[in-house]
Structure 1
Amino acid sequence: MSEVAQDFSPFLRLYKDGHIERLMGVDIVPPVDPNSNVMSRDVVYSPALDLSCRLYLPKNTDPNQKLPLLVYFHGGGFLIETAFSSTYHNYLNTLVAEANVIGVSVDYRRAPEHPLPAAYDDSWTALKWVASHVNGDGPEEWLNSHADFSKVFFNGDSAGANISHQMAMRHGQEKLVGVNVAGIVLAHPYFWGKDPIGNEPRESSQRAFAEGLWRLACPTSNGCDDLLLNPLVDPNLAGLECSKVLVAVAEKDLLRDRGWHYYEKLRENGWSGEVEIMEAKGESHVFHLLSPPGENARLMLKKITSFLNQDKA
């Protein structure tokens, strides 16, 4: 067997012969789940790149009923996981049923085979595909019939939260015509920076691991103060195109202080929307995906559900 060139356990290993061994998120489950209160199916959004998204619709939805539209971007450091793994399929089933929204879970190309900005570009392509349904004449009937484009939300965890932020920034610059992004939900967002803040580790070995993961995902990056990784260095932050933001952090998460820093600094940078934060005590990174029956995960689901439905008529 080839020797390991770089070991980023528990996420992935790179071997000297060039092959990549992903250690998490490699399972794929079908969209049909008879035990769920949600219908789902996979739809190609980029034929050129053969990329799909998984759509979710609550069962027994009235044929003419419009629902808030949730576009979800999965986490995994831009390196692992897919929209079709059991982790994300189970979570989207639960969230869509609880919040009574229509969901689009986006799959995107992953690094290192497809380094950033591939994931951002694919996510934007998916959003343009979603926006093609604004007038009710798009290729996917569920979106034509049920998506309320005045109430669109971006949501993601970890790297997916990073993508959600970047998509709201890009929407501010390029505009998805007919789409109103009412809010974004950033769960344990994958933000970082060159200089430690708060209780972040000062040890070079720990920070080197974090920086190594980022450089694997984005080898052309100028470092950890790249505005793709550290949004607070972005001079255009006030252009975040949404009305409200919910940031969720976990007490024992390495990324906790970055989430708090984003929450505290967003309005100071000229953004005029509403931002709120919730912290789960005693929990670690993406605990809500790994232990969904837990009390803190239930409270987080309830909070996100409320956030998605605050303005529902």
Structure 2
Amino acid sequence: MASTTTDDSEEVTYDLSPVLKVYKSGRIKRLAGTAILPPGLDPETNVESKDIVISEEHKISARLFIPKNTYTYPQKLPLLFYTHGGAFCIETLFSPNYHNLLNKVVSVVTIVYGKPKKLLAESRTMSLSLRLSKANVVAVSVHYRRAPEHPVHIGHEDSWCALKWVASHRRCNIASYLGIRVGTKGLLGVKLKGVVLVHPFFWGEELFGCETNRPDQAKKIHNLWRFACPSESGSDDPIINPIKDPKLGKLACERLLLCVAEKDLVRDRGLYYKELLEKNGWFGVAEVVETKDEDHVFHLFKPNCENALVLIDQIVSFLKQD
């Protein structure tokens, strides 16, 4: 990749816009996903969040999201273990995008956006922007070490470490990896009921499906992955290409919710993941949700649009199943 220079004449060795830039000095400038929100009570959703340290040595932390009514009416709730996206390089659990998303999922109140449309008893004409039912879960969002400062595999290991920590404290694309890890190694005292993959970032050396029609965009993703994980296997590393994962059929959950977006470049790989699971002998049941006319992680960039609220409602419904 050709070197360029910035306005202050500092040489850029890798320009991976709009994700990040790496300078000859070694300085890394992230171009997105740098905003943060502190924990605390969200008055709109009535969800309390709190930050905890899982490993000071490896700088692994997590944010807990707890429905406020559990303080008044103590109860045992299922746990949602959440790993954020960001192409393995940007975003954190402190990002407003992910913080606000989990507040909504864990919410114990009905959230109202905009003005209500005509309401009829037991009618489906109710504005979708008015519906957001609680999932009745406690959520744990993990902060893992990111590329390029750390190999992509480290982020997966950090997430596994955090999941084991959660299992040991049960009395008080990474998602796929963790589900398979539970299936091969087990997790004492914890039963993995389901996995939700929202616009999973799968990839591979050979173009697949709709990628063949968008070669320029595909090249950018290929370059980003090569930079983030410069292994010999490249984009065919099993971490990012499930086609190459011999352990895929050991996914430990009973149910899978696979969410894709119609305009997403990685849509077809996401859909193929379900087929791969079946071919590899997975014993569970997979449900696919496709959002029309939307692109990758649209629900983060347009959180109040009707399609985003419908998607959250579908995720919540999945989480509420026995």
Q: What's the TM-score bracket when you normalise by the shorter of the two chains? A: 0.7 to 0.9
Correspondence for 1:283 = 294
1:16 counterpart residue number: 24
Deviation track 1:123-172 (CA, whole Å, cap 9, x = no partner) reads 011011101123x2xxxxxxx1xxxxxxxxxxxxxxxxx10000011111
Q: Aligned partners of 2:94, 2:214: CA distance in 1, in Å? A: 36
Which residue is 2:150 aligned to?
114
Structure 1 range deviating more: 57-66 or 253-262: 57-66
Q: Is the 8 A contact 1:196 1:202 kept in 2?
A: no
Deviates more, 1:172-181 or 1:261-270: 261-270
1:105 paired residue among 121, 141, 147 = 141
For residues 261 and 190 of structure 2, what CA distance do their matches in structure 1 show? 31
1:202, CA displacement in angstroms?
A: 5.5
Work out the CA distance in 1 between the residues paired with 2:301 and 2:275. Answer: 28
279-288 or 169-178: which moved more?
169-178
Which residue of structure 1 lines up, in the alignment, with residue 176 of structure 2?
A: 165
From 71, 74, 77, the counterpart of 1:64? 74
In structure 2, relative to structure 1, the CA distance for the partners of 1:38 and 1:235 (3 Å cut) is same
- Compute the displacement of 1:266 (Å): 1.4
Contact 2:39 2:49 (8 Å CA) reproduced: yes
Q: Distance in 1 between matches of 2:244 and 2:233?
A: 13
Aligned equivalent of 2:162: 126
Distance 2:232 2:261 in 1: 27
Secondary structure at 1:289 match in 2: helix
Identity %: 51
Return the offset for 1:203: 6.2
**8 Å Cα contact 1:215/1:221 also seen in 2:** no
Aligned residue for 1:209? 220
Partner residue, 2:35: 27
User: Offset at 1:208?
Assistant: 2.7
Contact 1:53/1:107, CA 8 A, preserved across alignment:
yes
How far apart are residue 238 of structure 1 and its match? 1.1
**Per the alignment, in what secondary structure is the counterpart of residue 181 of structure 1?**
coil
The unaligned stretches of length 5 or more in structure 2 are: 1-7, 108-133
How far apart are the structure 1 equivalents of 2:144 and 2:313? 28
Please give the alpha-carbon distance, in whole angstroms, between the structure 2 residues aligned to 1:243 and 1:188: 20
Distance in 2, Cα, partners of 1:216 & 1:78: 11
Q: Which residue of 189, 198, 201 maps to 1:178?
A: 189
Superposed displacement of residue 232, structure 1: 2.1
Cα deviation, 1:179-217, whole Å, max 9, x if unaligned, reads: 100010000001011222222135654333211111222
Q: What are the equivalent positions in structure 2 for 1:1-12 lying under 5 Å apart?
A: 1=8, 2-12=10-20
* SS of residue in 2 equivalent to 1:201: helix
1:76-87 counterparts in 2 under 5 A?
76-87=86-97
Match of 2:208 in 1: 197
**Alpha-carbon distance in structure 1 between the residues aligned to 2:65 and 2:316:** 15
Q: Identify the residue that residue 153 of structure 1 maps to in structure 2.
A: none
TM-score (normalised: structure 1) = 0.88
The aligned counterpart of 2:198 is 187
Structure 1 position 94, deviation (Å): 0.7
Instruction: Kindly provide the amino acid, as one letter, of the partner of residue 40 in structure 1.
Output: S
Instruction: Count matched residues.
Output: 286
* SS, match of residue 71 in structure 1: strand
Larger Rg: 2
Match of 2:125 in 1: none
Q: CA RMSD in A?
A: 1.4
**TM-score, normalised via structure 2 length:** 0.85
Q: How does 1:43-54 map to 2 (within 5 A)?
A: 43-54=52-63
Distance 1:179 1:203 in 2: 42
Separation in structure 1 between the aligned mates of residue 36 and residue 261 of structure 2, nearest angstrom: 27
Question: C-alpha distance in 2, partners of 1:298/1:34?
Answer: 18
Cα pair distance change 1:49/1:255, threshold 3 Å: same
Q: Give the structure 2 partner of residue 246 of structure 1.
A: 257
**Counterpart contact for 2:262–2:290, Cα < 8 Å:** yes
Instruction: Give yes or no for the alignment of 1:40 onto 2:76.
Output: no
Contact 1:56–1:93 (8 Å) recurs in 2:
yes
Deviation per CA, 1:48-104: give whole Å up to 9, x if none. 223210000011114530111000000001100000011111111111113121000
